[in-house]
Structure 1
Amino acid sequence: MKSIFDEITKNELEERMALLNENSERKWGKMTVGQMAWHCQYPLKLAIENKPTSKKGNLLVQLFFKKSMYNDKVWRKNLPTAPQLKAKEPKNFDDEVKVLQQLMHDTHQLKNREEWNPHPFFGRFTKEQWGQMQYKHLDHHLTQFSV
């Protein structure tokens, strides 16, 4: 499984991001490309901030969905999105992509971090799983916009 912590994979993601523009059309879902770029920032921020959480995560989510976050199986189209991760208003494509690109870079720089706090929804991940999860989420949404 690819990981955002791998240099070649990070470069591939950056090249794919560069193919997007404000008129990129989605193959599924409701988000515009600007909203997608905004939406993709949250998981990267979670990794960067690495804040301790008092939440134990959702046991059902962990039992049924956690492995899908970092395995090789492709996510299906139109997966449900947590309400706080849904963009409710239009987002400026250029602004959101710049932020997303910086967050991708910053996340890649964490490749040597050894201590990772649990994810607030999914619980504990290894460093490798964090990198794979970040790649998989970005890949899913870049594929959504045909890049």
Structure 2
Amino acid sequence: MALPDIFNNDVTDRLTQRINNLTAQSKPQWGKMSVAQMLAHCCVTYRYVYEPEQFKKPNFLLSWILKTFVKKAVVNEVGYKHNTRTGSDFIINDEKDFEQEKSRLIDYLVRVQKDGKQYFDGKKSFSFGKLNVVEWNNMFYKHLNHHLTQFGV
């Protein structure tokens, strides 16, 4: 079953509403991150697209491992299990400002939606090589949906 289309205005609006339903006091139903850390964690996917210079590019071996063993789990339509391990760039240990991270995530969502399918179709991802528009959509939507569900919205 296809995931909702993150490039669609209505889907972006629904995700934005879910984010806006969070409060600085929202608690996770599983895991250890605070709500502000979760928002910062979710931003990493978009930072890989729009701020790749902020991250160390995977070396050849790691790139091969990511493309061969991790990519399918990230870009398919199957949801993530609770407490799944994540990449080191996604681990947020320091405290974050809730309002700032919330605003930043919403800005990224709007930017992705406005850039549209044409921008992403065939675009090379930071970790997985070229992705088609369905793979980009699945990666964006499924990760965000997983964490919004984690915080009950």
TM-score (norm 1): 0.86
Cα deviation for residue 65 of structure 1 reads: 2.4
Q: Does 1:125 align with 2:131?
A: yes
For 2:35 and 2:72, locate their aligned partners in 1 and report how far apart those are by CA, in whole Å: 27
Alpha carbon RMSD of aligned pairs, Å? 2.2
Q: 2:23 aligns with which of 16, 21, 37?
A: 21
Cα deviation for residue 96 of structure 1 reads: 0.8
Amino acid at match of 2:111: D
Q: Does 1:85 align with 2:87?
A: no
User: Matches of residues 20-99 of structure 1 in structure 2 within 5 Å?
Assistant: 20-49=22-51, 58-99=63-104
Q: Does 1:10 align with 2:12?
A: yes
Q: Do the aligned partners of 2:63 and 2:127 also contact (CA within 8 Å) in 1?
A: yes
Moved more, 8-17 or 53-62: 53-62
Cα deviation for residue 115 of structure 1 reads: 5.9
CA distance 1:114–1:84, shift in 2 (3 Å): closer
Cα deviation for residue 99 of structure 1 reads: 0.9
Percent identical pairs in the alignment equals: 28
Cross-structure match for 2:114: 109
Cα deviation for residue 64 of structure 1 reads: 2.5
Cα deviation for residue 3 of structure 1 reads: 2.8
Q: Do the aligned partners of 2:44 and 2:89 also contact (CA within 8 Å) in 1?
A: no
Count of residues in Structure 1 that have an aligned counterpart in Structure 2: 146
Q: Do the aligned partners of 2:123 and 2:130 also contact (CA within 8 Å) in 1?
A: yes
- In the alignment, structure 2 segments of 5+ residues that lack a partner are none
CA distance 1:114–1:138, shift in 2 (3 Å): closer
Q: Do the aligned partners of 1:41 and 1:100 also contact (CA within 8 Å) in 2?
A: yes
